[in-house]
Chains A and B, each alone.
Chain A
């Protein structure tokens, strides 16, 4: 299209008035916003000195734990359903015959690569015995990649650490809620 095309309507930028040329109203407007935020209540926390408040720890998706049953044994029956559901393929289980008469199968090893995990919570949904759960522990750090691959003992220790603050939800399957 040519610039002298008759269908083009050219408009001029409106000229600034006196107040506009002095920038004073805009200056006041900006300072007002600054002042309002200075005195309004804070929404951020100074992590890690201050801990953020988790509204409902039961539905928060943080570090995994492996639950224990009433006798302190791992509840997991090594059915691989969490590993099947996992979209990030971060769960690795080795199932074997359990040493207890009332159970058939249990995990000889159960590892989760916490770095690979996307914390979607699908493993928790898939578990038929409520053995794997996501806790509200949210600051997960480690010095090496190997340290971030959690094994069965580590995952059980997360349970021991969180069982009082976050009880197991399902009473039917031995939970306390």
Chain B
């Protein structure tokens, strides 16, 4: 149950009655009762589709629409609006009320949400959300009767870190997401199952896209991870995917300048260079998918059986923030530290942190390969300088330019989370798989598919095939064998005997 029931919209009125256990006679209540709030007990009888019930729904629907503005064409909810759906089911041909508002008053509730006052049907879901889920109580109902409105108190705007959820909650278009408002009509978008890459909670999301452009992320119901919610950071954290600053096309350093390289010849060239380099190290960012990490680790260990496999910097910002209902925004701002760690541990026996690599005073390597995927600045100039000095061949695959990218021998553009096929393992060792929602921009090649090519495997990169292989090879991932459901699999199931119970009982 997400929110308490208040039976405010009255759309679910049904006939109810009671069956006498002795005589078997059914006595119906003369009044209709709201189905959402009436418990079904032994001997209760419900009639959900009689003429009386249908008529009541039609009347309630007409009442909800009495002063609802007829601005569906410009309302962002149109196409996924519950009121619109009900109107198709129960609607009258003509509007009998003589109130014909065409526009809605609007006012901002905070930095993320705009309230379209007249579209509201006073279901109070948003108010209950701020009371029960976030516990921040910003929203309240002002006025009485037909003058009821949702509002915030002056000086206390809706500004909690989960505020975007009220837009999804709203059954009509009364709450608009400022980030998405007027950007795209919902019927043009296709929804893809994805996993948020914002923090190590790894919320299940719907990635709504049209023509290879991500327009919004919405939480996808997953009782094991995020229930129905996601945080604003994750929700609005997809804009880097379409940033104009993203690297486009691979580049090779020739003297001091970078010249464009050709993807058709590059894999063979990289392979030859890496094999000639001697000692090799691979740095795996916690943004990589399990599959990409596995394929790259396999490849680097094939090139150099003693290759050092290192976990890249793990971005941490602030502290974990837990809300009233238990939803937690993690401070660890990467989706797959656990997965990458386990892959590295399988190949190298232990997980080497980047600090260890840097602390090595006689660091001398033939080549370093960097798998990135970082959204923000993640490396300082000194560290980059030190790494570049340690190896003559530096291959960096990342989304954006960085001090390290400037010192690379090969600059390879990486794919963003919505462009990848693969799996992430969240903080509680739950593995969730996802498929690409948009195609990467021209000149970008997914990390995993590059490793697939370098390994000389046949055909195109198949994440499912790789995950099956990982599940066979690595005990930790065994539970992922034979398919991953939409809600993911708990990788801890195999370790119940080995580890204390309280660790496995962690919930959201």
**Contacting residues, chain B, for A81 (C-beta < 8 A):** 73
A77 and B182 contacting across the interface, CB-CB below 8 Å: no
Q: A77-B74, A81-B73 are in contact. Are A104 and B188 (CB under 8 A)?
A: no
**Does B495 lie at the interface of the complex (its beta carbon under 8 Å from any beta carbon of A)?**
no
Whether a CB of chain B sits under 8 angstroms from the CB of A97 is: yes
B187 interface residue (CB < 8 Å to A): yes
Q: B103 near A: Cβ within 8 Å?
A: yes
Which chain B residue lies CB-closest to A93?
A: B185
In chain A, positions 99-126 with a C-beta closer than 8 Å to chain B are 102-105
A96 & B73 in contact (Cβ 8 Å cutoff): no
At the interface, yes or no: A84 with Cβ under 8 Å from chain B?
yes
Q: Given that A77-B74, A79-B73, A84-B187 are contacting pairs, would A103 and B182 also be in contact in the complex, using a CB cutoff of 8 Å?
A: no
Contact B73 A95 (CB under 8 A): no
Shortest Cβ distance from B103 into A: residue: A104
Is A104 a contact of B185 with CB atoms below 8 Å?
no
A84 to B184, CA, bound (A): 12
Min C-beta distance of A123 to chain B, whole Å? 13
Q: Is B103 a contact partner of A102 (Cβ separation < 8 A)?
A: yes
> In the complex, A103 Cα to B69 Cα: how many Å?
13
Tell me, yes or no, whether B401 is within 8 Å of chain A by CB: no
CB neighbours of A79 from chain B (8 A): 73-74, 185
- CB of B181 closer than 8 Å to a CB of A: yes
| B228 CB, min distance to chain A CBs, angstroms | 28
* Total contacts A-B at CB 8 Å: 29
Find out whether the CB atom of B182 lies under 8 angstroms from the CB atom of A96.
Answer: yes
Chain A CB within 10 A, most for which of B71, B73, B106, B188: B73
Chain B: minimal CB distance from A104 (Å): 6
Complex: how many Å from CA A128 to CA B103? 14
CB distance from B120 to the nearest CB of A (A): 15
| Interchain CA distance A97-B73 in the complex, whole Å | 14
Report yes or no: B74 in contact with A97, Cβ–Cβ below 8 A. no
Give bound CA distance, A95 to B75, whole Å: 12
B183 at the interface (CB under 8 A from A): yes
Do the beta carbons of A77 and B73 come within 8 Å of each other? Answer: yes
Q: Is the CB of B103 within 8 A of A80?
A: no
Q: Does A91 contact B (CB under 8 A)?
A: no
> With A104-B71, A105-B74 in contact, is A78–B182 under 8 Å at CB?
yes
Tell me if A104 and B74 are in contact (CB < 8 A): yes
Contact A128 B187 (CB under 8 A): no
**Chain B residue nearest to A127 in the complex (CB):** B73
Contact A105/B182 with A77-B73, A77-B74 known, Cβ cut-off 8 Å: yes
Residue from A84, A97, A103, A129 within 8 A of B185 (CB atoms): A84
Residues of A within 8 A of B71 (CB): 104
Residues on the A chain within 8 Å of B181, using CB: 97
Q: Nearest chain B CB to A95's CB is how many angstroms away?
A: 4
Smallest Cβ-Cβ distance to B70: which chain A residue: A128
Taken together as a complex, chains A and B put the C-alpha atoms of A77 and B183 apart, in Å, by 13
Contacts of A80 in B (CB 8 A): 185, 188
Which residues from A are CB-within-8-Å of B103?
102-104
A71 to B153 Cα, complex, angstroms? 37
Q: Which A76-96 residues have C-beta < 8 A from chain B?
A: 77-81, 84, 95-96
- Closest B residue to A101 using CB positions: B103
Q: In the bound complex, what is the Cα–Cα distance between A80 and B103 (angstroms)?
A: 17
Q: Known contacts A84-B187, A104-B103: does B73 contact A128 (CB below 8 Å)?
A: yes
**Residues 287-338 of B at the A interface (beta carbon under 8 Å):** none
C-alpha spacing A95/B78, complex, angstroms = 15
- For A77, the closest partner residue in chain B by CB is B74
Given contacts A77-B73, A102-B103, A104-B106, contact A97 B187 (CB under 8 A): no
* Best-surrounded residue of B181, B182, B185, B187 (most CB of chain A within 10 A): B182
Please give, as numbers and ranges, the residues of chain A lying within 8 Å of B74 by CB-CB distance: 77-79, 104-105
- CB-based nearest A residue for B73: A79
Q: In the complex, what's the smallest C-beta–C-beta distance from B77 to chain A, in angstroms?
A: 13
Q: Given the complex, which residues of A lie within 8 Å of B104, measured CB to CB?
A: 104
Chain A residue with minimal CB distance to B187? A84
Contact of B182 among A97, A102, A129 (CB under 8 A): A97
Nearest A residue (CB) for B69? A104
Min Cβ gap A153→B in Å is 20
- Residue of chain A at shortest CB distance from B78: A79
Bound together, the chains give a CA A80 to CA B79 distance in angstroms of 12
Beta-carbon contact of A95 and B182 below 8 Å: yes
Give the complex CA separation of A80 and B185 in angstroms: 7
Cα of A129 to Cα of B72 in the assembled complex, Å: 12
Which of B74, B103, B187 counts the most chain A CB atoms within 10 A? B74
Docked Cα-Cα span, A102 to B106, in Å, equals: 11
Q: Please encode chain B, from 158 to 201, with 1 for each CB lying within 8 Å of some chain A CB and 0 for all others.
A: 00000000000000000000000111010110000000000000
CA distance A80 to B183 in the complex (A): 11
B381 to nearest A CB, angstroms? Answer: 40
Q: Determine the residue in chain B with the shortest Cβ distance to A79.
A: B73
Measured CB to CB, the closest approach of chain B to A132, in angstroms, equals: 13
With a CB–CB cut-off of 8 A, which chain B residues contact A104? 71, 74, 103-104, 106
| Contact A95/B188 with A81-B73, A103-B103, A104-B71 known, Cβ cut-off 8 Å | no
Q: Chain B nearest CB: distance from A5 CB in Å?
A: 63
Task: List 5 A-B pairs, minimum CB-CB distance, nearest first.
Answer: A79-B73, A95-B182, A80-B185, A105-B74, A128-B73
Q: Given A96-B182, A104-B104, 14 other A-B contacts at CB below 8 A? A: A77-B74, A78-B74, A80-B188, A84-B187, A95-B183, A97-B181, A97-B182, A102-B103, A103-B103, A104-B74, A104-B103, A105-B74, A105-B182, A129-B73
Q: Can you list 27 A-B contacts (CB < 8 A)?
A: A77-B73, A77-B74, A78-B74, A78-B182, A79-B73, A79-B74, A79-B185, A80-B188, A81-B73, A84-B185, A84-B187, A84-B188, A95-B182, A95-B183, A97-B181, A97-B182, A102-B103, A103-B103, A104-B71, A104-B74, A104-B103, A104-B104, A104-B106, A105-B74, A105-B182, A128-B73, A129-B73
